[in-house]
């Protein structure tokens, strides 16, 4: 996913506020304590390795995923 992806339409006025990018949202999520855990089976399916991940993201096993899901008050899964 391109990290400069923007949700919404950028204004043509160069003085208009810049819309946040996906990279901005991920950074805000991580700054608030959010974790990015990648399913190993999903990673294998698309030949994704730990070296391909953004900083702070990690490939974790089923036990870690279960623990995250069971202890979290909110889970984003996609």
23 in Cβ contact with 41 (< 8 Å): no
For the stretch 41-52, pLDDT in tens is 989 999 999 999
pLDDT along the chain (78 residues), means of 10: 65 74 88 90 93 94 88 75
Would you kindly state where each structural domain of the chain is located, as residue ranges?
35-78
Structure tokens at 63: 């036990």
pTM score, whole prediction:
0.66
């Amino acid at each position: 996913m391109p990290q400069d992806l923007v949700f919404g339409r950028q204004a043509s006025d160069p003085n208009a506020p810049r819309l946040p990018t996906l990279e901005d949202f991920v950074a805000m999520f991580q700054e608030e304590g959010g974790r990015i855990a990648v399913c190993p089976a999903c990673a294998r399916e698309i030949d994704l390795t730990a070296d391909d991940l953004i900083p702070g993201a990690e490939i974790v096993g089923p036990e870690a995923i279960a623990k995250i899901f069971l202890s979290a008050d909110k889970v984003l899964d996609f």
